[in-house]
């Protein structure tokens, strides 16, 4: 068996193959690309600018989180360089490698900051998951209230609610695990010991943070999620797709959660499938969902270009110090 033929890679290929499956279930790719070709490029540009605004705010959030975790760089540029370089790596490297790219840059100078960096990256990811889950639930309720795409909204609610319950379950496992014997059971297994060690490191870093940067990080997470969902809505308008804004935000939440899983290559396949389900329920054609998914993929890919400059000018590993108060 070839070395690359791992269960994760097989799963990714299955997700990517959905693009072929769509053709067999009636999606006309000729019409799909005509839809993209007829797009309003002024609205496409507006969507791209919103996307980059969200990324800039995420880079600032990383600076806030890194400083609060005690990862101290020489200049503000260094924080942004690390963020954009890892954003580029997320596109050109396999998921397992790209997830470690920022950690590798953090620990290049000897590894003293690896533990802090791991905790900071995990907290950032959890913030993104929580923000997507919260937005999905809020706008799902809005969609149901207005009777638009109710079935899809219920699915969104189940997915986003389930994600938030998993996050809550991790907190419970960490806080109450020792008291009820759950931790001992989990740590019987090597994977369980590794997961609990990561949770411990994350909770320690989280507990050491000042309240102000935590509030700022939470607000930035929700704000950037909303801006990204708005950018997707504007991209839909560029393709002459007219659906309720709340439905598009709910769809973005599920799309965002799905691309965090290793079930495809850069979300190709599952993203388009989710958008097909969301848009068809609102009277749009299947081709509209695929066109929007592909356009969003192109915009995301273009947004990673600044990472090329950042990659070749990335800083050395940060010093590890006492988490200072973060200035806004």
- 3-state DSSP of the chain: CCCCCCHHHHHHHHHHCHHHHHHHCCCCHHHHHHHHHCCCHHHHHHHHHHHHHHHHHHHHHHHHHHHHCCEECCCHHHHHHHHHHHHHHHHHCCHHHHHCHHHHHHCCCCCCCHHHHHHHHHHHHHHHHHHHHHHHHHHHHHHHHCCCCHHHHHHHHHHHHHHHHHHHHHHHHHHHHHHHCHHHHHCCCHHHHHHHHHHHHHHHHHHHCCHHHHHHHHHHHHHHHHHHHHHHHHHHHHCCCCCCHHHHHHHHHHHHHHHCCCCCCCCCCHHHHHHHHHHHCCCCCHHHHHHHHHHHHHHHHHHCCHHHHHHHCCCCCCEECCCCCCCC
- CB burial of residue 274 (10 Å; 0-12, 13-18, 19+): buried
Residue 112, pLDDT score: 43
Region for residue 267 given its phi and psi (left: phi exceeds 0; alpha: psi -120 to 50; beta: otherwise): left
Residues (pLDDT < 50) of the chain are: 96, 109-112, 322-328
Residue 319, pLDDT score: 53
Dihedral of alpha carbons 263, 264, 269, 275, sign: positive
Residue 291, pLDDT score: 96
CA neighbor of 278 nearest in space, from 295, 293, 266, 294: 293
CA neighbor of 252 nearest in space, from 165, 134, 89, 147: 134
* pTM over cut 0.95: no
Radius of gyration of the chain (CA): 21
Residue 296, pLDDT score: 96
């Amino acid at each position: 068996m070839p070395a690359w033929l791992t269960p994760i890679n097989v799963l990714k290929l299955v997700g990517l193959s959905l693009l072929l499956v769509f053709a067999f279930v009636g999606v006309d790719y000729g019409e799909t690309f005509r839809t993209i070709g007829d797009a309003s490029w002024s609205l496409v540009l507006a969507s791209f600018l919103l996307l980059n605004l969200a990324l800039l705010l995420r880079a600032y959030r990383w600076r806030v989180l890194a400083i609060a975790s005690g990862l101290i760089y020489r200049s503000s540029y260094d924080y942004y360089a690390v963020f954009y370089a890892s954003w580029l790596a997320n596109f050109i490297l396999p998921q397992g490698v790209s997830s470690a790219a920022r950690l590798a840059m953090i620990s290049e100078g000897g590894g003293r900051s690896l533990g802090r960096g791991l905790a900071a990256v995990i907290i950032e990811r959890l913030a993104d998951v929580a923000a997507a889950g919260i937005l999905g639930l809020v706008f799902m309720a809005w969609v149901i209230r207005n009777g638009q795409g109710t079935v899809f909204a219920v699915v969104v609610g189940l997915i986003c609610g389930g994600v938030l319950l998993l996050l809550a379950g991790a907190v419970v496992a960490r806080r109450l695990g020792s008291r009820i014997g759950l931790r001992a059971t989990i740590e019987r297994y090597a994977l369980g010991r590794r997961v609990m060690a990561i949770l411990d490191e994350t909770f320690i870093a989280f507990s050491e943070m000042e309240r102000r940067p935590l509030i700022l990080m939470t607000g930035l997470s929700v704000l950037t999620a909303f801006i990204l969902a708005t950018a997707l809505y504007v991209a839909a308008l560029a393709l002459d797709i007219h659906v309720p804004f709340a439905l598009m935000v709910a769809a973005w939440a599920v799309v965002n959660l799905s691309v965090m899983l290793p079930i495809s290559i850069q979300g190709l396949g599952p993203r388009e499938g989710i958008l097909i389900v969301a848009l068809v329920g609102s009277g749009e054609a299947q081709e509209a969902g695929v066109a929007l998914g592909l356009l969003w993929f192109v915009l995301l890919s273009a947004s990673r270009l600044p990472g090329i400059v950042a990659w070749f000018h990335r800083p050395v590993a940060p010093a590890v110090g006492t988490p200072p108060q973060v200035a806004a």
